[in-house]
Amino acid sequence: MLKVESLTKQYGSKQVLADVSFQVNPGDIVGLVGENGAGKSTLLTILATLIQPEQGMITYHDLAYKTDQRKLRQKIGYVPQNIAIWEEFSVEENMVFFEQLSWGKKSREQLRQLCLDMKLDQWKEKAQSLSGGMKRKLNLAISLIHEPELLLLDEPTVGIDLKSRKEIGTYLQQLAKQQGKTIIYTSHDMEEIISLCDYVYCIGNDPFYKELLKEKGQHIHVL
């Protein structure tokens, strides 16, 4: 279980997160929604151990974020909004390169199968020639090389076609329900959030998101 208690983060005089508390169980896909600047990306970056909060406590199972960062990073997969791949490398070269930096080791056959599992089959093509959807799939595949238990996805399908969004969503549901991975997912696409997520956390007290999700029958918690 991921447990966040009384989390606070500010940049200078601007408070981005204020006394945020929630928990996520293994096998759950949880949506994060809120207006621009509400703190969604900041929260994911904290959960990825890349920045520190001013106050609060975070634990993942029996590991504390304050004292067990090295062990936690072996269990976390993080996909930021910006695509982070080598454009001049092929899909194969990207996967092999990031595998060498990864906590976990895989053969080329295993790396290729990981791509095929999410319907990315352009193994020899340069990343720069891929569609936006395929680049997003490659970005996600890279984050899964070390088989993380906790997957943090910041707008992973923004700007891509409907078919690729559906394929990524189906794959994520398989990871959660069949492998028990914990997934936290941000998106401005409410239809995507509703169809994909088990429940939703809204950062900030924005009535737009609360009313929209209630209309769709989605259970929402306000952070």
pLDDT at residue 176, rounded to an integer: 95
Measured CA to CA, the distance from residue 185 to residue 187 in angstroms comes to: 7
> Which residues does 129 contact at the CB level (< 8 Å), separation at least 6?
none
Same domain, 61 and 116: no
Report if residue 80 sits inside a domain. Answer: no
pLDDT at residue 105, rounded to an integer: 86
In this structure, the strands spanning 182-186 and 150-154 are parallel
**What number of helices (H) and strands (E) belong to the chain?**
8, 10
Report if residue 116 sits inside a domain. Answer: yes
pLDDT at residue 12, rounded to an integer: 86
pLDDT tens-digit series, residues 26-55:
999 999 988 888 899 999 999 999 999 999
Report if residue 81 sits inside a domain. Answer: no
Same domain, 123 and 62: no
- Ranges assigned E (strand) in 61-119: 63-64, 76-79
- pTM, two decimals, is 0.91
Domain stop point among 103, 130, 148: 148
**Domain hosting residue 215, numbered range:** 2-75+149-222
Same domain, 212 and 164: yes
pLDDT at residue 158, rounded to an integer: 87
pLDDT at residue 13, rounded to an integer: 86
Domain stop point among 99, 117, 148: 148
Domain stop point among 96, 131, 148: 148
Measured CA to CA, the distance from residue 90 to residue 125 in angstroms comes to: 5
Same domain, 43 and 57: yes
In this structure, the strands spanning 55-60 and 29-33 are unpaired
Low-confidence ranges of the chain (pLDDT < 50): none
